[in-house]
Amino acid sequence: MSESVLIIGGGVCGIQAALDLADKGMHVYMVEKLPSIGGRMALLDKVFPTNDCSICILAPKMITCFNHPNVDVLTNAEVEGLSGKAGDFKVKVLKHARHVDETKCTGCDACTQACVLAGRIPDEWNQNFGTRGAAYIPFMQAVPRVAIIDEERCLLLAKGKCKSKCVEACQRGAIDFKQKDEVVTLDAGAIIVATGLDMYDPTPVTEYGYGRFENVIHSMEYERLINASGPTGGHLKRRSDGERPKRIAYIQCVGARDVRSGHPYCCSVCCMYATKDSMLAYMHHDDTENIIFYTDLRAFGRGFDEYIRRGAAEYGITYVRARPGEITEDPETKNLYVWYDDTEGGGVKSMEVDMVVLSTAFVPPPGINALGEKLGVKMNEYDFFKAQDDLLAPMDTNVPGIYIAGACTRPMDVTDAVTQGGGAADRAAQAIGDYAGKASAKAGSRKGS
Amino acid sequence: MAEPEIVAFVCNWCAYAGADYAGVSRIQYPTNVRLVRVMCSGRVEPSFILKALEEGADGVLVGGCHEADCHYISGNLKARERVESTRDLLDLLGLGAERLRIKWVNANEGEVFANEIKDFSATLKRLGPNPLAKAKKLGAVKVPDVDEIMSRTDAYLCVECGKCTASCPVSRRDSEFSPRATVEQSLENKHSELETSQQLWDCLTCRTCEERCPYNVRFSEFIRDSRPEARELGLDGCPTQSGQMYSWMRMMAADNLPQKRTDWLEGLKTKTKATAKSDFMFFVGCLPHFNVSHGHISPGTLDIARNSVAILNALGITPVVLPEERCCGHDLLFAGDPVRFEALAKKNAQLIKAAGVKRIVISCPEGYETLAREYPRVLKDWDVEVIHISELLAERIEAGKLEFKNEVGASVTYQDPCRLGRYMGVYDAPRKVLGAIPGVELVEMEHSRQDAICCGVSSWVSCGSTAKSIQMARLAEAKSTGADLLVTACPKCQIHFRCALSGRVPGDRNAVDIPIEDLTSIVARALGVADGSAAPAPARQSKKAKTGSKS
Residues contacting residue A40 through CB under 8 Å, at least 6 positions apart? A11, A12, A196, A197, A407
List chain B residues with CB under 8 Å of A343: 160-162, 180
Cβ distance of A253 and B451 shorter than 8 Å:
no
Whether B161 and A295 lie within 8 Å, measured CB to CB:
yes
Instruction: List the domains of chain A with CATH numbers.
Output: 4-96+181-197+364-447 (3.50.50.60), 110-169 (no CATH), 201-361 (3.50.50.60)
- Using 50, 70 and 90 to split pLDDT, how confident is the model at B539? very low
Collapsed DSSP state (helix, strand, coil) of residue B11? strand
Q: How far is A267 from chain B (nearest CA, A)?
A: 14
- C-alpha–C-alpha distance, residues A17 and B541, integer Å: 74
Q: What is the mean pLDDT of residues B333-341?
A: 95
Q: Supply the mean pLDDT for chain A.
A: 95
The type of residue at A368 is: I
Instruction: Assess whether pLDDT exceeds 50 at residue B503.
Output: yes
Q: What count of other Cβ atoms lies within 10 Å of the Cβ of residue B418?
A: 27
B140 within some domain: no
Domain contains B491: yes
Q: Is B232 exposed, middle or buried (0-12, 13-18, 19+ CB in 10 A)?
A: middle
Tell me, what CATH number does B172's domain have? 1.10.1060.10
What are the chain A neighbours of B166 within 8 Å (beta carbons)? 322-326, 339-341, 348
Is B323's pLDDT higher than 50? yes
Final residue belonging to a domain, choices B324, B359, B393: B393
pLDDT digits (tens, 9 = 90+) for A304-336: 999 999 999 999 999 999 999 999 999 999 999
3-state secondary structure chain A: CCCEEEEECCCHHHHHHHHHHHHCCCEEEEECCCCCECCHHHHCCEECCCCEEHHHHHHHHHHHHHHCCCEEEECCEEEEEEEEECCEEEEEEEECCCCECCCCCCCCCHHHHHCCCCCCEECHHHCCCCEECCEECCCCCCECCCCEECCCCCHHHHHCCCCCHHHHHCCCCCECCCCCCEEEEEEECEEEECCCCEECCCCCCHHHCECCECCEEEHHHHHHHHCCCCCCCCCCCCCCCCCCCCEEEEEEEECCCEHHHCECCCCCCHHHHHHHHHHHHHHHCCCCEEEEEECCCCCCCCCHHHHHHHHHHHCCCEEEECCCCEEEECCCCCCEEEEEECCCCCCEEEEEECEEEEEECEECCCCHHHHHHHHCCCECCCCCECCCECCCECCECCCCCEEECHHHCCCCCHHHHHHHHHHHHHHHHHHHHHHHHHHHHHHHHHHHC
Domain edge (last residue) among B393, B419, B436: B393
- Same domain assignment for residues B289 and B188: no
Q: Are residues B185 and B317 in the same domain?
A: no
Q: What is the pLDDT of residues B413-428, one digit of tens each?
A: 999 999 999 999 999 9
B374 shares a domain with B277: yes
Between residues A443 and B359, the one the model is more confident about: B359
Subunit contact A343:B446, Cβ cutoff 8 A: no
- Contact between A340 and B168 using a beta-carbon 8 Å cutoff: no
| Alpha-carbon gap: B365 to the closest alpha carbon of chain A (Å) | 23
Shared domain check, B471 and B455:
yes
Give the amino acid at A187.
Answer: D
* Burial of residue B133, with CB atoms counted within 10 A of its CB: 0-12 exposed, 13-18 middle, 19 or more buried: middle
The nearest CA of chain B is from the CA of A416 a distance in Å of 27
Q: How far is B364 from chain A (nearest CA, A)?
A: 26
Rounded alpha-carbon distances, angstroms, from residue A66 to A419, A428, B176: 20, 20, 63
State whether A259 and B215 contact (CB < 8 Å): yes
Per residue, the 3-state secondary structure of A352-410, as one string, reads EECEEEEEECEECCCCHHHHHHHHCCCECCCCCECCCECCCECCECCCCCEEECHHHCC
Least confident residue range of A84-88, A198-202, A377-381, B259-263: B259-263
CB-CB: which of B159, B212, B449 is closest to A295?
A: B159
- Reported as a single tens digit per residue, the pLDDT across A168-192 is 999 999 999 999 999 999 999 999 9
**Cross-chain residue pair B166–A348, CB shorter than 8 Å:** yes
Between B259 and B139, the more confident residue is: B259
Give the number of A-B residue pairs with CB atoms closer than 8 Å.
Answer: 74
| pLDDT tens column, B57-96 | 999 999 999 999 999 999 999 999 999 999 999 999 999 9
CATH of the domain at B78: 3.40.50
Distance between CA atoms of B32 and A38, rounded to whole angstroms?
A: 93
Q: Which of A267, A341, A342, A356 should be substituted to probe chain B, the one whose Cβ sees the most B Cβ atoms within 10 Å?
A: A341
Contacting residues of A for B185, CB less than 8 Å apart: none
Q: What is the ipTM of this complex?
A: 0.91
Average pLDDT, chain B: 92
Q: Which of B160, B214, B216 sits opposite A343 (nearest CB)?
A: B160
Residues of A in contact with B171 (CB under 8 A): 341, 348
Range of the domain at B446: 404-550
Across the range A369-385, mean pLDDT stands at 97
Q: Cα–Cα distances in Å, from A165 out to A111, A112, B153?
A: 7, 10, 64
Among the partner-chain residues B180, B213, B215, the one whose CB lies closest to the CB of A343 is: B180
Domain stop point among B134, B165, B194: B134
Does the residue B408 lie in any domain? yes
* B445 and B538 inside one domain: yes
* Distance to chain B for A318, nearest Cα, Å: 17
Residue B541 pLDDT grade (very low, low, confident, very high; cuts 50, 70, 90) = very low
B220 and B272: one domain?
no
**Mean pLDDT, to the nearest integer, of A61-84?**
97
Q: Are residues B225 and B258 in the same domain?
A: no
Do B162 and A296 lie within an 8 Å CB cutoff?
Answer: no
Nearest CA in chain B to A328: B446
Minimal-distance CA residue of chain A relative to B162: A341
Interface contact B165-A348, CB threshold 8 A: yes
Same domain for B14 and B124?
yes
d(CA B342, CA B378): 7
Q: Name the band, by pLDDT with cuts 50, 70 and 90, for residue B227.
A: very high
DSSP string, B356-382: T--EEEES-HHHHHIIIIIHHHH-TT-
Is residue A375 within 8 Å of residue A280, measured between CB atoms? no
In a domain, B399, yes or no: no
pLDDT digits (tens, 9 = 90+) for B243-297: 999 999 999 998 888 888 888 887 666 555 677 778 899 999 999 999 999 999 9
Which of the two residues, A1 and A447, has the higher pLDDT score? A1
Q: What is the pLDDT of residue B406?
A: 93
Measured in whole angstroms, the distance separating CA B546 from the mean position of its chain's CA atoms is 33
Q: How many CA atoms lie less than 13 Å away from B36 in the CB half-sphere?
A: 14
Which of A212, A266, A319, A323 best probes binding to B when mutated, by most B CB atoms within 10 angstroms?
Answer: A323
Q: Reply yes or no on whether the pLDDT at B315 is more than 50.
A: yes
The angle formed by the CA atoms of residues A304, A382 and A273, to the nearest 5 degrees, is: 25
Cα of A351 to nearest chain B Cα, Å: 12
Tell me whether residues B451 and A206 touch, CB distance under 8 A.
yes
Test A206 with B167 for CB contact under 8 angstroms: no
- Asked if residue B224 and residue B336 are part of one domain, the reply reads no
Q: What is the pLDDT of residue B544?
A: 38
Number of domains in chain B: 4
For the segment A424-439, the average pLDDT, to the nearest whole number, is 89
Q: Is residue B68 part of a domain?
A: yes
| CB-CB neighbors (< 8 A) of A340 in chain B | 162, 166
Same-domain check for residues B271 and B215: no
Q: Is A334 exposed, middle or buried (0-12, 13-18, 19+ CB in 10 A)?
A: middle
CB contact under 8 A, A323 and B449: no
With respect to residue B139, please indicate whether it lies within any of the assigned structural domains. Answer: no
Q: Are residues B520 and B436 in the same domain?
A: yes
Nearest chain B CA: its distance from A21 CA (Å): 43
- A343 to chain B, closest Cα gap in Å: 6
Q: What is the pTM of this model?
A: 0.91
CB contact under 8 A, A341 and B171: yes
Question: Given an 8 Å threshold on Cβ–Cβ distance, is A339 in contact with B167?
Answer: yes
Q: Are residues B411 and B383 in the same domain?
A: no
